[in-house]
Amino acid sequence: MSAEDLEKYETEMELTLYREYRDVVGIFKYVVETDRRFYLCNQVDVRARTDSGDVYFEVSMNDVWVWDMYRPARFAKAVKVLTFKDVNVETLNPTDIDEPLD
């Protein structure tokens, strides 16, 4: 596979992922962003934890869609993330979601 073929494949995968996101975003309540992933979910709980003086975050989510073009299945019943970096949680407002373009 040439570099051009690989780039074309990745571009197609990103477009497919964006279209899927656009189709499902309306069924979720929250957007959760960590340093590694972007999630849509209907329930989220973020807890600060400490271990030997270090602070980290435990993020638990239910009814989840994961933005990851290499995952064969992006829907998950539950996801737990542990991270030492920032976690951003936003509540989706249904009026902020754009209508899909055809």
Q: What are the tens digits of pLDDT across the range 1-40?
A: 788 888 888 899 999 999 999 999 999 999 999 999 999 9
List the domain boundaries for the chain: 3-92
Residue 94: predicted pLDDT: 74
pTM of the model: 0.82
Residue 97: predicted pLDDT: 58
Strand order in the sheet with 30-33: 75-83, 54-67, 38-51, 30-33, 88-91
Closest CA to 89 of 55, 49, 56, 59: 59
What's the CA gap between 40 and 23, in Å, rounded?
12
- Per DSSP, 29 falls in state S
- Please state whether beta strands 54-67 and 30-33 pair in parallel, antiparallel, or not at all (unpaired): unpaired
Note the Cα 62 to chain centre separation in Å.
Answer: 12
